[in-house]
Structure 1
Amino acid sequence: MVFYFESTVVSPPALLFMGIDKYENEDLIKWGWPEDVWFHVDQVSSAHVYLRLRPGQTIDDIPSAVIEDAVQLVKANSIMGNKMNDISVVYTMWANLKKTPSMDVGQVGFHKESEVRKVKVAKRINDIVNRLNKTKREEHPDFRAEREKRDRLEREDKKKVIREQKKKEEEEAKRRKDEAELKSYNSLMSQENMNKYDDGNDSDDFM
């Protein structure tokens, strides 16, 4: 089961979600999307909260209000973190998560520590948590099927772009060819006109 939330501080609302337990988290780690940003309380057990970016959006484009929603949701869903003030929440792109066979269920590391960001959370803000919980819904998604559908659509989009680019290149090549042929034809016609009015006699003597 996955819990979905909407961050309505932006329009359209940003999508936040998390697994119900460490086993769901394991599936989210395995079948995450390149557009997913992962949030977790630093050094303390907590839920794995994800933010799904919109097409073209990057981790640098996330509005501060959305980050605030995400970190508050993480804190509220950490047994220890929810009781503590002045905690840190780390976040990074899903692609930076590293999973090795020796790790426990739900446990992750990072490929590059330099790509992990950290934000301080002074205290729980109930207004934010309550607002998010009002949008909460439960679903039982097929993680693998959703990821495969996402990848298939991406491949189709890339093929479409390639086809359109090829079509433009062919049209441009045809335009250049037509221009070259027209230029050659005009040049030929100009030469024929010169020959038409040339009687072949270079002398002005009529005798």
Structure 2
Amino acid sequence: MVYYFTSKREDTPREVELYMGKHKEENEDLIKYGLETDVWFHVDNLSSAHVYLRLVPGELWDDLPTGLLEDCAQLTKANSIEGNKRDNITVIYTPWSNLRKTNGMAIGQVGFKKDKLVKKVHIPCRINGIVNRLNKTKKESFPDLQGEKIQYEKERARLQRKQQQEALRKEKLEAEARKREKYEREHAYEDLFSEENLNKNSNQNRSEDWEDDFW
């Protein structure tokens, strides 16, 4: 079972989905089938739920709106047995893609590929108003995490192919435009010195009374 929550603050342009597993066994599936757009949250040095924030392409994990970051951290703290009782705790967060899972680790335990991609946020105390607001949006679900992952990867590959095709099309159009400009520069004077235009401007082809044109 996975718990889903919805965060909507004044500094966020949309409703944002947060989710977490019911127990550590489910955390294993969340670690395994997370998406590139997911951000992982956990209380530092204490046992807690693994809370995930699901962003959309283009949103940056390390530049989260203050209100959204506070919601994620408060929800993480509230779902830590020991951390929920303490003041002045630290919540850490990092992209899902930075999580590292090895065979020797316990269930629900993770490490990091790059420590420099782990950020921290200090939480002075529990804010009941935030926790209660998020809990009102709580929904329980049994999602097909593997299926969602496969579908996500297919859609991402499709978009990448589309972007590559668009880039190739743009590159082709730009190359054709450069080719036309080069041709026009190289042949700019051909019409000016053509036999027809030279004949038009030659005095030899004027009528005998051509001087009358100046009177």
Please report the TM-score for the alignment, with normalisation by the length of structure 1.
0.87
After superposition, the Cα gap between the structure-2 partners of 1:180 and 1:67, relative to the gap in structure 1 and judged at 3 Å, is: closer
Partners of 1:169 and 1:40 in 2: how far apart? 45
Larger deviation, residues 183-192 vs 36-45:
183-192
After TM superposition, list the pairs within 5 Å mapping 1:41-120 onto structure 2: 41-120=43-122
2:4 corresponds in structure 1 to 4
- Rounded Cα–Cα distance in structure 2 between residues aligned with 1:81 and 1:108: 18
Q: 1:76, 1:182 → 2: CA distance?
A: 70
Other structure's SS at 1:6 match: strand
Other-structure match for 2:130? 128
Give the C-alpha shift of residue 30 in structure 1.
Answer: 0.9
Distance 2:61 2:18 in 1: 14
Query: What is the TM-score normalised by the length of structure 2?
Result: 0.84
Q: Which amino acid aligns with 1:95?
A: S
Alpha-carbon distance, 1:152 to partner: 1.4
For structure 1, the 5+ residue unaligned runs are 200-207
Mapped to 1, the partners of 2:180 and 2:115 lie a distance apart of 56
Distance 1:184 1:121, change over 3 A: closer
**Within 2, Cα distance between the matches of 1:186 and 1:67?**
61
* Distance in 1 separating the partners of 2:30 and 2:142: 12
Residues in 2 aligned to 1:117 and 1:185: alpha-carbon distance in whole angstroms? 61
Residue matched to 1:35: 37
- Can you give the 5+ residue segments of structure 2 that lack an aligned partner in the other structure? 204-215
Deviations 1:34-90 (A, max 9, x none): 211111111111100011122211122201111111111111111111122222111
Equivalences, count: 200
Provide the C-alpha distance between the structure 2 equivalents of 1:65 and 1:136, rounded to a whole number of angstroms.
18
